[in-house]
Amino acid sequence: MHPLIRQLRDEIVFPVTSANLRVRADQLRSRLQLYPTMLGGQAMLVVLLIWLMWDAVPHAALLAWGATAYLVYAADMTGWLLYRRQVNTVQECTRWHIAFTLFTAVGGLVWGSTALWLFPPDAAHQALLIMIIFGLAAASVTTNPSYPSSFYLYALSVVLPLLFRFMASGDPTQWAMAGILLIYLAVVLKAGGGLGKAFRIALQQRHENVALVEQLTEQKAYSEQMRQQAELASREKSRFLAVASHDLRQPLQALTLFSEALKDAAGDKDTRHLAGQIDKSVHALADMFNELLDLSRLDAGIMAPRMQHFALQPLLDRLYVNFIPLVQAKKLAFEIPAGDGMPGADGESGPVLYSDPFLVERILRNLISNAIRYTEKGKVSLHCRCSGRSLTFEVADTGIGIAPEVMPHIFEEYYQADNPHRDRRKGLGLGLAIVRRIEQLLGCRVEVESEPGKGSTFRFTVALGDAEQRAHPFAVTHSRHDLGGTAVALVEDDPDIRQMIAGLMVQWGCRVFAGDSPVDVLRAMDAGTIRPDLLVCDYRLPGELTAIGAIGQMRELWGHSLPAMVLTGDTAPEVLHEIQDSGAMLLHKPITPARLRSLMYLALHGAE
């Protein structure tokens, strides 16, 4: 049997033997740990779908479908509550595999049946339902990397009914939609297969390392070998993040651009509302990938602090404007100082700090976001206290607090406390892990005080700066920059993404010369007689060519001063270093149109 076929068979059949029991048990435990979050998220999505479809689908059908979904989730959750700790023997693991297979198939068919049972007559609601099905298929990959059998079965169960509906319609347009859906399904399943393989290899290597540690504990002579194995495990982890990011960011990039286009094209109020809901879902998915990306960039060592003198108050204003909707939605009090009267205030912008403003902002964002998430009543506050030549930030809340036994682990990657309140945690559990890495770059230390049931306080200190050397890092406003008349050479091999990006640039007043290779772009620019102001290039191009080679070719023709930007979903350290060394600006996919426009302006004009 071919190795690839054997591997696919093992992923679907999921055989459990005494030889692979430890790896299989860890795969199942990883899925069981995420189970309440997965089921809870789907349960909330049921309510949201019923609400959105209430005026488009018969009420009886909606309520009957919702009741069926909740019966399935209740049965699934009951099994989890009763047997979640029974994952220790071959028989117990096999029983869980059978249960997962049954409930995954039924749960997937419940959502898949919406394409047959609840398919609305109008285009706007149809688009919403299709986007939800797309999102569920992609989410099955991101939430089930430890258990490939589940995401294969779930993605197929969710998508195939919609595919059959399109194919059975006889409408050429819907036949085209069926083709797009089939391609999307193939891409998702392929990416999920690679992600599951990387996760399984990481588990196998972890158990191999555990065996080595046990041996090295008994034999002190192997201490050096243990260190080498730990370094190998660290490299494999970075490789896992890079593979996951690259494989899944490409379809997510297209989804982000199409979502933005749908929002711009929406005409009436209801359609704009539905497009806005889709856009929020897409950006929430992108935010999860951004956390993974930030962690991999920090681990790769390519994120260096850019120290400068900057005013405190614009930073506080940005934080207030960004977080006040979340605070108001939870009916919490929110306190952020205005800076007046504090030592070092200049009457306009308060104290001036000396650090990397964007890394300081990222620490504060992660801390405030956590404070809001774990506070149900009371307040969240940010205090700033000057002392000598430094300023101390304190982020305090009146939330659930942190138990003493949990405190040593809160800065670990992917850590989730064994606490009923934590079952509602969203994201990947990387916020404080990113904070820990940034504090090492800035040379500060985040300290924590907490009392269970009363709240927590996180504090760290930043040096004060010189008002006369003050820069304005937060003065740039996104998506408001004038790019009119800018000549842009765009090299992108994906025709859908190329067309979407070129369309956005044309809307911004740019002259765009696009192609899937430097040769095509040169032909569009009349063999180099027109000089571009900016080169935007995807990293991976047809054949063996990459953006680095394309930039080199075009700079030979138009000069080495030509500004360049590279779009990529790669997070491998060697790729990031290569782009950084070329002098090009690095943009990670998916990137929103507002961010693309701001960074194009920055590449052309600098910080100004």
User: Considering only 153-167, 228-242, 391-405, 534-548, which range has the smallest mean pLDDT?
Assistant: 228-242
40-54 burial string, b = 16+ CB within 10 Å, else e? Answer: eebeebbeebbebbe
The structure's pTM equals 0.45
- The Cα–Cα gap between 205 and 460 comes to 37
- Residue 337 CB burial class (10 angstroms; 0-12, 13-18, ≥19): middle
- The Cα–Cα gap between 91 and 350 comes to 65
- The Cα–Cα gap between 110 and 65 comes to 8
φ, ψ for residue 577, nearest 5 deg: -65, -40
CATH topology of domain 308-469: Heat Shock Protein 90 (3.30.565)
User: Considering only 235-239, 508-512, 513-517, which range has the smallest mean pLDDT?
Assistant: 235-239
- The Cα–Cα gap between 185 and 173 comes to 18
Average pLDDT over residues 92-117: 85
Residue 515, helix vs strand vs coil:
strand
- Residue 603, pLDDT > 80, answer yes
Rounded percentage of the chain residues whose pLDDT exceeds 70: 79
- Residue 587, pLDDT > 50, answer yes
What pLDDT is attached to residue 151?
73
- The Cα–Cα gap between 182 and 164 comes to 10
Tens of pLDDT along 314-332?
Answer: 888 878 877 877 887 787 8
φ, ψ for residue 443, nearest 5 deg: 75, 25
Average pLDDT over residues 499-525: 91
Assign 418 a pLDDT band (cuts: 50, 70, 90): very low
CATH superfamily of 487-605: Response regulator (3.40.50.2300)
DSSP 531: P
| Residue partners of 404: CB distance under 8 A and separation at least 6 | none
Q: Which pair of structure tokens corresponds to residue 256?
A: 């982000």
Q: What letter represents residue 57's amino acid? A: V
What pLDDT is attached to residue 123?
81
φ, ψ for residue 475, nearest 5 deg: -80, -20
The answer to whether 251 and 188 have CB atoms below 8 angstroms apart is: yes
| Closest listed residue to residue 304, CA positions, set 128, 138, 440 | 440
Per-chain mean pLDDT for the chain: 80
Q: Which pair of structure tokens corresponds to residue 335?
A: 């306190």
The answer to whether 117 and 57 have CB atoms below 8 angstroms apart is: no
The answer to whether 300 and 579 have CB atoms below 8 angstroms apart is: no
Average pLDDT over residues 405-427: 64
- pLDDT top residue among 494 and 229: 494
Q: In what order do the strands lie in the sheet with 511-515?
A: 511-515, 487-491, 534-538, 564-568, 585-588
Q: Which pair of structure tokens corresponds to residue 66?
A: 């919702």
Give the range with max mean pLDDT: 10-14, 351-355, 430-434.
351-355
The answer to whether 534 and 542 have CB atoms below 8 angstroms apart is: no
The ranges assigned to domains in the chain are 308-469, 487-605
